[in-house]
Chain A
Amino acid sequence: MDEQQKLQEFQDRIDAGEKIEPKDWMPERFRKQLVRMMSQHAHSEIIGMLPEGNWITRAPSLRRKLALLAKVQDEAGHGLYLYSGAETLGVSRDEMIDDLLSGKAKYSNIFNYPTQTWADIGVIGWLVDGAAIVNQTMLAKSSFGPYARANLRICKEESFHRKQGHEIIATMMKGTPAQRKMVQDAVNRWWWPTLMMFGPPDDNSPNSNELIRWKVKTKTNDELRQSFIDRTVEEAHDMGIEIPDPDLRYNEETKHWEIGEINFDELYRVVTGNGPMNKKRMAARRKAHEEGRWVREAAEAYAEKQKLKEKKAS
């Protein structure tokens, strides 16, 4: 069968709603895109532990501390589900981790912003995880089996993340004026970066068409962004939080909230490594990797010693 025929058959399978599994024939470009998406997604979960880990020791109560610890542990788990999925396409875990540590691989831009106050932890759960859920719910139906399955697992856990953040914010909004101010300040800083998590607008999104044709994604960046906005604006108003967008208005005809223009120059600035925290995040990740090295080496040495023992005994 020639390449063109194979490609047509592949597209037919996708159009019929079939899932593609790792050992199936797939265009090289599909494999590359999936490896890129899954490893970037995995790296984001891993780097995403850092801004929140920053507040574990300073959580205001034991209840909040337990929740935050469990949440950060979940993020590690999500990273591992996704690495596991990417590995089915023949890329090794060590390779992916090398690419992250060397700065070759990207991760979600949102984690290049600092967590300045406790309200930021609430806002991350409510806004950042809220945005992630919108995206991941779509990806749970992705045409690539391992990616869909990893996202399904993630979605089951992510609603706790969002809800604990929402609870933090709602509680603070019922607190003192200083607490309410702290929340509003956090929302002011996180609102726009969160909207940028959905990626560039549809008319300037180089990967989108292809990914939608292959049903890796089933909605465009702007569609996902809009569904997040509609849901979140109502919740914000309900808690007495102002959305930092003077152009925000409700369109009675379309029944959607319309926002002002997103400053994508800012996105490109941060993506290309010039955000407030890029260097610190990478330095922290490299340090953690290096400091864990003795554990990995010890485990390796122990396993080898056990093997030798077994050989001698038999």
Chain B
Amino acid sequence: MGENGINRKGGEGRMWEVFTQKKTGDPHEHAGNVHAHDAEMALQHARDVYSRRNEAVSIWVVPSDQITASSPDDAGPFFDPAEDKIFRHPQFYKVPHVSKKRR
């Protein structure tokens, strides 16, 4: 028995992050999470929670504690190296302007 006299055994299970693909050709996008004791159950819950109206043609589930994320506190230095590399963008280059001729 836990706090408030409520039996804590038989809890909600592990947390899984859910990614859904709206239609083939689209990327999988994060939808939310579900709780389940194993992957198969997580997949079924994900379908029931995030695709009751054909919102998905494919679903991925992954245990939440298996995801490593970048930290917003380090976002500056972490993403900074890309900022001074303007030569990675087409705007950096100057080429002669050729006007299209109509035939």
Residue A73 at the B interface, CB < 8 A?
Answer: yes
Once bound together, how far apart are the Cα atoms of A251 and B5, in whole Å?
Answer: 54
Min CB distance A94 to B, Å, is 5
Residue of B4, B11, B72 with most partner-chain A CB within 10 A: B11
Min CB distance A130 to B, Å, is 21
Asked if residues A87 and B15 are in contact (CB atoms below 8 Å), the reply is yes
Asked if residues A80 and B34 are in contact (CB atoms below 8 Å), the reply is yes
Once bound together, how far apart are the Cα atoms of A296 and B52, in whole Å?
Answer: 22
Q: Given contacts A85-B32, A87-B33, is CB(A23)–CB(B49) below 8 Å?
A: no
Residue B102 at the A interface, CB < 8 A?
Answer: no
Which of B52, B71, B72, B73 is the one whose CB lies under 8 Å from A73?
B52
User: Across the interface, which residues of A come within 8 angstroms of B69, CB to CB?
Assistant: 23
Q: Given contacts A23-B69, A81-B32, A102-B4, is CB(A297)–CB(B9) below 8 Å?
A: yes
Residue A30 at the B interface, CB < 8 A?
Answer: no
User: Across the interface, which residues of A come within 8 angstroms of B9, CB to CB?
Assistant: 293, 297
Q: Given contacts A23-B69, A73-B52, A299-B41, is CB(A98)–CB(B13) below 8 Å?
A: no
Bin the interface of chain A by size: 20 to 34
Task: Tell me the nearest residue of chain B to A289, going by C-beta.
Answer: B6
Which of A80, A94, A300 is the one whose CB lies under 8 Å from B8?
A94
Once bound together, how far apart are the Cα atoms of A157 and B52, in whole Å?
Answer: 10
The 5 closest A-B pairs by CB, nearest first: A102-B4, A303-B37, A303-B38, A296-B10, A84-B32
Beyond the given A80-B34, A296-B12, please list 15 additional residue pairs across the A-B interface where CB-CB is below 8 A. Answer: A21-B72, A24-B72, A77-B52, A81-B32, A84-B32, A84-B34, A93-B12, A102-B4, A104-B4, A293-B10, A294-B10, A299-B13, A299-B36, A299-B41, A303-B13
A-B contact pairs, 8 of them (CB 8 A): A23-B69, A23-B72, A77-B48, A87-B33, A94-B11, A293-B7, A297-B9, A303-B38
